[in-house]
Homo-oligomer: A and B are copies of this chain.
């Protein structure tokens, strides 16, 4: 059988780390999207306050099955 996947683009933010920002985005998606399969990082940014990194902001494309 031939599958079809959809990709959505999300930006997760975290005060802790780049990975935590990605996991925050994936966790938020898991509330409404089932059958997530992969992600790809498309941008890594951050917010600076008082001369220090205050938030890590990572944008990911998340792919999930939509064929059933």
Which A positions have Cβ atoms within 8 angstroms of B? 2-15, 17-30, 36-41, 43-48, 51-53, 55-56, 59, 61-63, 66-67
Contact = CB atoms under 8 A, between A and B. Distances in A.
B4 A25 contact: yes
A14 B40 contact: no
* Majority-rule SS of A interface residues: strand
Could you say how many copies of this chain the assembly holds?
Answer: 12
Contact of A12 (B4, B28, B51): B4
Contacts of A14: 2
Most buried by B among A12, A37, A51, A61: A51
Contacts of A5: 10-11, 13
